[in-house]
Amino acid sequence: MLIYTISMWDHGDLDITVATVDRNEALKQFESSTTLSLQVWEKGEVLIEMISNEGEYFADGGLERYPEKGQLLFNEIVEQLQ
């Protein structure tokens, strides 16, 4: 089972993270702000971390540990967001 976390990363001392297993809900929240990051977890490991900037999406972690699975998830998510 994949778990999606959405985190606010606004350079402050306080981070807020929300977790869900619902990909559609996670992507809806992720699209709502440019100060959010999205992580996809499986078995306690981050498979991919993403950030967005003005409608462009970037992998910001995870690909070095899980290159094939992480890239596949990244591509699927970007396609779903566009």
Provide the residue-wise pLDDT of the chain in tens; the chain has 82 residues.
Answer: 999 999 886 666 667 889 999 999 999 999 887 778 899 999 999 999 999 887 789 998 888 888 999 999 999 999 999 8
Question: What pLDDT shows up at residue 14?
Answer: 64
The pairing of strands 3-8 and 16-20 is antiparallel
CA torsion sign for 9, 10, 14, 16 is negative
Domain spans, the chain: 2-81
- What is the distance between the alpha carbons of residues 8 and 18, in angstroms, rounded to a whole number? 9
Contact by Cβ (8 Å): 59, 67: no
Query: Sheet of 3-8: strands edge to edge?
Result: 16-20, 3-8, 36-42, 45-53, 56-61
Give this prediction's pTM: 0.86
